[in-house]
Amino acid sequence: MPDSSASLSPWIPAEASAFIERHAARYDGMDLATLDAEAHRLIAAHEQLVDHDCINLYAGTNMPNPRGSALLGSTIGSRPNLGHPGAKYNKGMQHAEQLEVMLTTLLKRLFNARFAEHRVGSGSLANLYAYMATCRPGDAIMAFSDAAAGHPTHHAIGAAGLYGLKVHDVPFDTARMDVDADALRDAAKRIRPKLIIVAGSMCLFPYNLAAVRSVADEVGAYVLYDAAHMGGLIAGGCFQQPLAEGADLMTGSTYKSFGGPPSGMILTNSAELAERLDRIAFPGLTANFDLGRTAAMIIAVMDLLEFGPAYARTCIANAQALAVALDAAGVAVFRPTGRDQFTMSQHVALNAIPYGGGNAASARIEPANILFTSIGLPLPEVTDDANGIRIGTQEITRWGFAAMDMDEIAGLIARVLVKNEAPQNVKGDVIALRRLFQKLHYIREA
């Protein structure tokens, strides 16, 4: 038998290698009945921890509507379905293929867009589709840098680089956490990008898309708005509206603020781009795709059509209240020098320097059942760690937390980060608070 241990994978971090080696050895020795029981036990334990016992402030997650999740288990997802609805190669699809039309129709309604592409496995793949629709390998593009929370898929290590694009930074005004429009104009005239990408993995404030559009027009570039994080708030009408403000394409993940199953989406008003995306989706990069996810997406879009505005408003109100409460509790909340607010979105950023770095702080608070992660901020660097912490309120909003509850959450965070209480001592109070919020809000019931 091949050795499944990590010694075969020297490129993996040592910590991960040790973990994989230890568990691979256990599973190698287990009989099938034990493995079966163990797989189910792990899922149940995970759901209890993350869905019920944690205050999950991770910026890129959410709790989907269980009625949508149930549809993910339908056999419809295992059935091949090649080609356009109404002209399928596979037979017996006359019911299933209508779901594709339903989702496309609802997505267009939700985002007020002329075209929607849903046959995209993830937000990352949505970005690859967008690159393929607008650029050729070797072309230059411009994207947010790491310090502006640009995403790996925008960069050399991700889809952009793998597709052969040359990536340049979008100049960023860190005082306002927005695009530096004048510097962008100068740089774009020099670089002649085919595509300018706006937004990344933390969006505290809306971006000056009108300025980006006008620069793009001057140099003949397309504009892509990456709404991976902002999809739910854009749908709720409480954040900027990328297509109306000049983006040619809007890509998105569907499991972050959007609150749906893990998938991807692309919206555009351009028939030319829609045609290219259609061919990229099929026969380009998908043959069959998971219609169970299509069905789960329909549920998620209907949730947003009915509750999107109230949900999005509450996400933002909670983030603003949490930022103020954290600040009052002595936590180092990040506020750009050119703004009089901490945030206008569901995101809150913390300066992680007083806490030894964002990864260190996230690891320190995890045993208290409070979940968040690091991010790069325009602050001095921390050796071997990120200088920021990123928080999102979309999941706690779905669990019914309101602005008046943010003092309590801030107090629990401060006990670990500021007062240096042992996280294990805080965990009981976190679970007790979390237990009061076990019903999902802003979702349609049967």
Residues that bind ligand PLP in the complex, under the rule CB under 6 A: 60, 122-124, 127, 151, 153, 200-201, 226, 228-229, 253, 264
Q: Cβ distance 122 to 320 under 8 Å?
A: no
The 8 Å CB, 24+ separation contacts for 410-414 are: 410/322, 410/325, 410/326, 410/328, 410/329, 410/331, 411/325, 411/329, 412/55, 412/368, 412/370, 413/326, 413/329, 413/331, 413/365, 413/370, 414/326, 414/329, 414/330, 414/331
Residue number, 153 or 351, with CB nearest to ligand PLP? 153
143 phi, psi to nearest 5 deg: -150, 165
- Cα-Cα-Cα-Cα dihedral sign, residues 399, 404, 408, 414: positive
Helices (H), 240-385: 271-279, 291-328, 358-365
Residue number, 224 or 298, with CB nearest to ligand PLP? 224
Residue number, 151 or 415, with CB nearest to ligand PLP? 151
Residue number, 206 or 423, with CB nearest to ligand PLP? 206
Residue 376: CB minimum distance to ligand PLP, A:
13
Residue number, 130 or 430, with CB nearest to ligand PLP? 130
Residue number, 265 or 412, with CB nearest to ligand PLP? 265
Strand 347-351 vs strand 388-392: parallel, antiparallel, or unpaired?
antiparallel
Residue 119: CB minimum distance to ligand PLP, A:
14
Residue 1: CB minimum distance to ligand PLP, A:
33
Residue number, 127 or 369, with CB nearest to ligand PLP? 127
Residue number, 193 or 264, with CB nearest to ligand PLP? 264
| Token pair listed for 148 | 């502006």
Residue 250: CB minimum distance to ligand PLP, A:
12
Helix (H, G, I), strand (E, B) or coil at 117: strand
Per the listing, tokens 């809150």 go with 348
Residue 20: CB minimum distance to ligand PLP, A:
22
Using CA atoms, how far residue 147 sits from 85, 178, 200, 281, 351, in Å, is 43, 12, 10, 32, 13
Residue nearest to ligand PLP (CB): 123
Residue 262: CB minimum distance to ligand PLP, A:
6
Residue 394: CB minimum distance to ligand PLP, A:
13
- Which residue, among 210, 213, 208, 242, has the nearest Cα to 228 in the 3D structure? 242
Euclidean distance between the first and final Cα of the chain, in Å? 50
Residue 241: CB minimum distance to ligand PLP, A:
18
Helix (H, G, I), strand (E, B) or coil at 392: strand
Output the CA torsion 22→23→27→30 (10° steps).
70
As a whole number of angstroms, the distance between CA 189 and CA 218 comes to: 8
Residue 190: CB minimum distance to ligand PLP, A:
25
Strand 140-143 vs strand 166-169: parallel, antiparallel, or unpaired?
parallel
Residue number, 65 or 153, with CB nearest to ligand PLP? 153
